[in-house]
Amino acid sequence: MSSLEELKLELKNLGREYAKIKTLPEAERKSFGEKINSRKAAILAAIREQEELAESADIKPIDLTAPFGENAKPFKTASGTKHPLATELAHVADIYRQMGFSVIEARQLDDEFHMFDSLNFPKEHPARDGYDTFRTSEGFIPPAHTSTMQYRALTRFRDHLDKYGQIAVVVPGRVFRNEDVDATHEHTFYQCEGVFVSKDATLGQMLATWKNFFETYYGQKLNIKTQPGFFPFTEPSLEFQIEKPKALGGKGDGWLEMGGCGMIHPNVLKTAGIDPNIYKGFAWGGGIDRLVMLKYGINDVRYFESGKLEFLKEF
């Protein structure tokens, strides 16, 4: 039994001594009570000292989940692999770096300003409703798109406009949507945001940038097309499509929507402290999960978050 345990047992037994006071002559009660109180105070002080020593001791925590016993063997990690999304996210970032873009990581918890206000969302916009956007009880927002990083990218790299004449940033990150889950929809997935600002940025530059990315990623020439879209933070706004790659069974007659894009809205530039009368910019964003699904012929987006070893072992 440890010293601390002995002290606690003595304190418990001392409690029984108080009951004896009633049985003693009145003249002896005061002296007896004082002795018990003095001993109790000494025991409590000793207990506190032992507890403080235990808290300050260099004790290594025990991993209750670790294998134990004479025949215990460590798990083999040599055959482990990266998650396919982690591998492809690194590949996507490398392609953009080679194109001259800086890469920063998105946040997984954000606020009202970066999610909506800095992106020119009207106060009454339906996306602000709890039915569309997750919110914590403290009012924070798990971002529904990597566009929440546009303001940070623009302000963080604003001095690049004077140094290099442009801002060129991409932001990969995880996003969250309050929607039903099925084979083609997930509540948790990855996106990659792109932001470019210069004095002469054009839609043509944006389309060429994204076209070059997809051709590099899929390793073949691709046709592209756009159609009108709407996003509060770009004007004009476009939906970007690529010809279905031959590697995925395409024959030049199928189109795949890969994300949204457009010229950065003047209000977004103003909010970030950039004069829209001098500078122009374009931005784009698309899902990484769909990109990977097309590359490897994966037919259910839920596999990525399932933790199924049969699926992960394929990579």
Q: What is the pLDDT of residues 35-84, one digit of tens each?
A: 878 888 888 888 888 777 766 666 666 666 666 665 566 555 566 678 88
Question: Number of structural domains, the chain?
Answer: 2
Phi-psi region at 181: left, alpha or beta (left = phi > 0; alpha = psi -120 to 50): beta
Residues contacting residue 203 through CB under 8 Å, at least 6 positions apart: 236, 238, 262, 263, 282
Pair 14, 146 in one domain: no
Task: Give the largest CA-CA distance in the chain.
Answer: 108
**Residue 122, preceding bond cis, omega within 30 degrees?**
no
Give the DSSP H/E element, type plus range, for residue 112. Answer: helix 112-115
pTM exceeding the 0.85 threshold for the entire prediction = no
Which range among 94-103, 127-136, 166-175 shows the weakest confidence by mean pLDDT?
127-136
Residue 63 inside a domain? The answer is: no
Residue 111 buriedness (CB in 10 A; 0-12 / 13-18 / 19+): middle
Give the DSSP H/E element, type plus range, for residue 171. Answer: strand 166-176
- Using CA of residue 290, residue 142, residue 144, residue 157, what is the dihedral sign? negative
Give the residue, 242 or 52, on which the prediction is more confident: 242
Give the residue carrying structure tokens 């894009």.
261
Pair 115, 264 in one domain: yes
Pair 119, 229 in one domain: yes
Q: Are 153 and 123 in contact (CB under 8 A)?
A: no
Question: Is pLDDT at 311 greater than 50 in this prediction?
Answer: yes
Band (pLDDT 50/70/90 cuts) for residue 276 is very high
Lateral strand order in the sheet of 102-103: 102-103, 166-176, 188-198, 280-287, 255-264, 234-243, 224-231
Residue 71 inside a domain? The answer is: no
**Structure tokens belonging to residue 146:** 């990597």
User: Which of 41, 56, 71 lies at the terminal end of a domain, its last residue?
Assistant: 56
Pair 51, 88 in one domain: no
Residue 69 inside a domain? The answer is: no
Pair 12, 145 in one domain: no
Residue 166 inside a domain? The answer is: yes
Predicted pLDDT at 252: 61
Percent of the chain with pLDDT over 70: 85
Pair 102, 200 in one domain: yes
Residue 61 inside a domain? The answer is: no
Give the DSSP H/E element, type plus range, for residue 264. Answer: strand 255-264
Percent of the chain with pLDDT over 90: 37
Give the residue, 77 or 102, on which the prediction is more confident: 102
User: Which of 13, 37, 56 lies at the terminal end of a domain, its last residue?
Assistant: 56
**Structure tokens belonging to residue 216:** 């590099």
Pair 49, 155 in one domain: no
Residue 62 inside a domain? The answer is: no
Band (pLDDT 50/70/90 cuts) for residue 1 is very low
Question: Kindly report the CA angle at 258 between 151 and 161, in degrees rounded to 5?
Answer: 30
Pair 20, 123 in one domain: no
Residue 150 inside a domain? The answer is: yes
Pair 168, 211 in one domain: yes
CATH at residue 266: 3.30.930.10
**Structure tokens belonging to residue 101:** 């873009």
Pair 116, 265 in one domain: yes
Pair 100, 239 in one domain: yes
Pair 24, 145 in one domain: no
Residue 76 inside a domain? The answer is: no
Domain assignment of residue 35, given as a range: 3-56
